[in-house]
């Protein structure tokens, strides 16, 4: 059953013009993460490399392709967590970095902190020799169009966001049974400057524990934070639920309690995995036992050899 990697490219409604690109991107990321695991890489290596690929793909709301804040600027969040040690690293509202997930890993490995934010995160990136990229290189025409549309009076960024979601994430378990998660996002469309959502918050935007499982979510960040979605799912697994049952329980609770929509990829230490969502769609892919699984709509589980 081991190793396994599962990735997502965001929950909501995938626009028809990028649906094929979004589906292809998560399949590529799952294949690449799986190859890292097959060649002896750690679960942490696999999730970071998979999410890096997605950050570099302009079809998603992460890295290149991130949505813009109310001022038309890019501020990004990312999180990684190591299930073996419970070590974690995160960055929030960071600017001028191509791959926030790699910077989050540096926070975990090179500092005694769990999260660095805004200018502090940017200063740390410079100290680590991370190349600073011009903001324009992270902004797509699509992101700029969506930003302008949401400046109009009467617009609802939350509803618009759920219509075009694209946060990315991954979970993995390696051959040694170690788990890890990674999540990366550009945040919410037309958010206030400095707004931080669920992604960099441990237990909300991700969680990994070798004794229970690993989770990476996507959806409305404020709703995810209110129910600490990732840790809530693992609580249900601790109570004996399967990853699928635990995910459905937590997503239902989030919808009923705070009217939140979103999705998750989850796996347990045995390699049992699931991709669940209460939105219209979520692009996802999983690699296990030389088979690639993928889907976008409820009930889909297409397979092909890796």
- Rounded Cα distance between 139 and 188, Å, is 14
Residue 250 DSSP SS3: helix
- Rounded Cα distance between 5 and 32, Å, is 9
Q: For residue 148, what are its two tokens?
A: 């302008």
Catalytic site residue 167? yes
52, 167, 199, 218: the catalytic one is: 167
Contact of 215 with 230, CB cutoff 8 Å: yes
Half-sphere exposure at residue 294, Cβ-oriented, CA atoms within 13 angstroms:
21
- Rounded Cα distance between 180 and 219, Å, is 20
12: β partners:
281
Contact of 264 with 234, CB cutoff 8 Å: no
- Which residue, among 296, 275, 299, has the nearest Cα to 25 in the 3D structure? 296
Measured at the CA of 216, the angle between CA 178 and CA 306, to 5 degrees, comes to 70
- Which residue, among 74, 117, 111, has the nearest Cα to 92 in the 3D structure? 117
| Alpha helices (H) in the chain, listed in sequence order | 16-38, 43-55, 100-110, 118-127, 141-149, 157-163, 221-226, 229-238, 243-258
Measured at the CA of 111, the angle between CA 207 and CA 51, to 5 degrees, comes to 45
What amino acid positions are annotated as catalytic residues? 167
């Amino acid at each position: 059953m081991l190793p396994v990697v599962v990735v997502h490219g965001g929950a909501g409604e995938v626009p028809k013009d990028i649906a094929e690109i979004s589906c292809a991107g998560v399949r590529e990321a799952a294949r690449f993460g799986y190859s890292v695991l097959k060649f002896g890489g750690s679960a942490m290596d696999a999730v970071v490399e998979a999410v890096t690929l997605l950050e570099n793909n302009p079809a998603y709301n992460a890295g290149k392709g991130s949505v813009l804040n109310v001022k038309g600027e890019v501020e990004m969040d990312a999180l990684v967590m190591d299930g073996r040690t419970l070590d974690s690293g995160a960055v929030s509202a960071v600017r001028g970095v191509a791959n926030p997930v790699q910077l989050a890993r540096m926070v975990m490995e090179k500092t005694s902190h769990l999260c660095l934010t805004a200018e502090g995160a940017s200063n740390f990136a410079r100290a680590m020799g991370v190349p600073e990229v011009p903001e324009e290189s992270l902004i797509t025409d699509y992101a700029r169009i969506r930003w302008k549309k949401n400046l109009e009076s009467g617009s609802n960024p939350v509803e618009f966001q759920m219509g075009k979601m694209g946060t990315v994430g991954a979970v993995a378990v390696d051959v040694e049974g170690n788990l890890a998660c990674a999540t990366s996002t550009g945040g919410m469309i037309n958010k206030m400057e400095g707004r931080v959502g669920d992604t960099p918050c441990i237990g909300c935007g991700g969680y990994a524990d070798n004794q229970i499982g690993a989770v990476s979510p996507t959806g409305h960040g404020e709703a995810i934070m209110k129910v600490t979605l990732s840790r809530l799912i693992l609580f249900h697994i601790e109570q004996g639920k399967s990853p699928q049952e635990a995910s459905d329980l937590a997503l239902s609770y989030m919808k009923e309690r705070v009217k939140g929509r979103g999705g998750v990829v989850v796996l347990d230490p045995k390699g049992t995995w699931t991709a669940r969502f209460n939105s219209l769609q979520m692009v996802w892919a999983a690699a296990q036992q030389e088979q690639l699984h993928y889907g976008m709509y409820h009930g889909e589980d297409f397979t092909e050899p890796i």
